[in-house]
A = this chain, B = another copy of it.
Amino acid sequence: MKELDLLTIGAGGAAYPAAFRLAKAGAQVLMVDPKGVMSGNCLYEGCVPSKAVRETAELAQAQQRFQKLGLSGETRVDYAAVVAHKDAIQARRYAQHAEELAAVANLTLVKGVARLLDPHTVQVEGEQGEERYHCRNIIIASGSDVFVPPLPGAELALTSHDLYKPDPTLKTLPEHLIVVGGGYIGLETASFFAALGSRVTLLQKGDQLLAGMDPEMVALLLPLLSPRISILTGVDVQAIEKSTGNKRSLRYLRDGQEQVLEGDAVLLAVGRRPILPEGAAAIGIAADRHGISVGTSLQTRYPHIYACGDVNGRVPLFHAAVRQSLVAAHNILGGNQACDYADFRNVPTTIFTLPAAAYIGITPALAAKEGRTLVSASYAFAEDSRAQILERMEGEIRLFFEPGSLRLLGAWVVGIDAGNLIGQIGTAIVGGHTAYDLARFADQHPMSAEGIGKAARSLL
């Protein structure tokens, strides 16, 4: 039986940073992944391909705005080319990852399925057959998968997988896209396709879109989305059926009434579920619907077995997984005595709709839940130079401080540069900055970051 210092179940963002870190330290490392490539769902069907589509969508949207800014002419969305670009980015990154992998002698990636036989033994069923490994350390980074609800006709719908995977199922722009589910994946996709020219109807079971996020922020965001998106809440989807000409028709109940909606495609985006590796339950590593329960050291009940990334359900974002993977790596290097910890709270999160919204830390809904008081300060993009230049003056920066100390605890940004600004704000949060500190920094003009200092100064 071969000896390994580390085996990772999965090769995504929760796995490979640790794998490379340990390999750099001289360890023998094996990653096992059913896709046989690195980066997991993020690159395969998640953040990277969706953002590839998004950037084209954003430009398409910008062009309409820029008619009055000095760029005349007609542009058309060529969805096949959008897909080709997306595929090309994926191919390029897979190639890059292959090179990175090849450069490290003591690190191997096997396409296959891993099964935990006991807390130190993993059986790998790969293309070259079955092999067993004795593993000093294991990182479970098996990720999550689209949750497909038991709905009649669910197989007629698409999932994010079908939209974003290499050589995707969806290759033409639907005239009318029906999105079931108002989480961030549903909303982002609705936003991209609306910008690319589709009409979109988004159906949400309950009342709150982007459940789990601060309702006040969500309420700021929704009115800014494209008018080509219709949102229906309180919708109970009954079935999906074939309709004429490869269309789909969707039956749903709303206010007790059954109704039918016809579209060119239906996207099911009602959630994700953790993927528990085979054999995990047998050795006592169980998962509830959120995932495998771990604390900030990412250790399971076995100090040498870690669960990182989507599979633990704490912060299902690629960059959170990367940090968790490194926490696990550091704890492994430290002999499985916890010496590094993940901060599940201060992770910047962006909903990449058009426009985007981003947040981090403690916002009012969370503060209310925890019985904490916040002092807030805001800056409206309506007064922002750059927002005016870009003709995108909607939205705001809002900062939340601890009373008395004015320590920055949280923030959201809705509107331009949201994803960038939340990085700057997050840097201030983790550094323990106060409003006094923010006020003294000469944020650049004419950049949207001006609003950070200006919001802080409104308290001073």
Residues of A within 8 A of B (CB): 13, 22, 24-27, 42, 47-48, 51-52, 55-56, 59-60, 62-63, 66, 68-85, 89, 92-93, 96, 295-296, 317-320, 322-323, 326, 333-350, 370-372, 383, 385-386, 388-390, 403-407, 417, 419-424, 426-428, 430-433, 436-437, 439-447, 449-450, 452, 457, 459-460
CA distance A80 to B69 in the complex (A): 10
Chain B residues near A349 (CB-CB < 8 A): 444
Q: Which of A26, A344, A445 has the most CB of B within 10 A?
A: A445
Chain B nearest Cβ from A194, distance in angstroms: 15
Chain B nearest Cβ from A338, distance in angstroms: 7
CA distance A74 to B73 in the complex (A): 6
6 tightest Cβ-Cβ pairs between the two chains A and B = A432-B432, A25-B335, A70-B82, A73-B75, A420-B420, A431-B431
Query: Is the beta-carbon distance between A335 and B24 smaller than 8 angstroms?
Result: yes
Q: Which of A75, A318, A337 has the most CB of B within 10 A?
A: A75
Further contacts, 8 of them, CB under 8 A, given A93-B388, A419-B447: A59-B69, A62-B62, A69-B82, A72-B81, A349-B444, A417-B420, A419-B444, A430-B437
Query: Is the beta-carbon distance between B389 and A52 smaller than 8 angstroms?
Result: yes
Could you write out 27 A-B pairs with CB less than 8 Å apart?
A26-B335, A26-B336, A42-B445, A48-B385, A56-B66, A56-B70, A59-B62, A63-B63, A63-B71, A70-B77, A71-B76, A73-B75, A75-B75, A92-B388, A93-B385, A317-B442, A317-B444, A319-B442, A326-B457, A333-B334, A338-B459, A342-B404, A343-B404, A346-B441, A348-B442, A407-B432, A431-B431
A70-B78, A371-B371 known; A345+B444 contact, CB < 8 A: no
Chain B residues near A27 (CB-CB < 8 A): 335
Chain B nearest Cβ from A345, distance in angstroms: 6
A320 (CB) vs chain B CBs: closest residue: B442
Query: Is the beta-carbon distance between B81 and A333 smaller than 8 angstroms?
Result: no
Query: Is the beta-carbon distance between A69 and B51 smaller than 8 angstroms?
Result: no
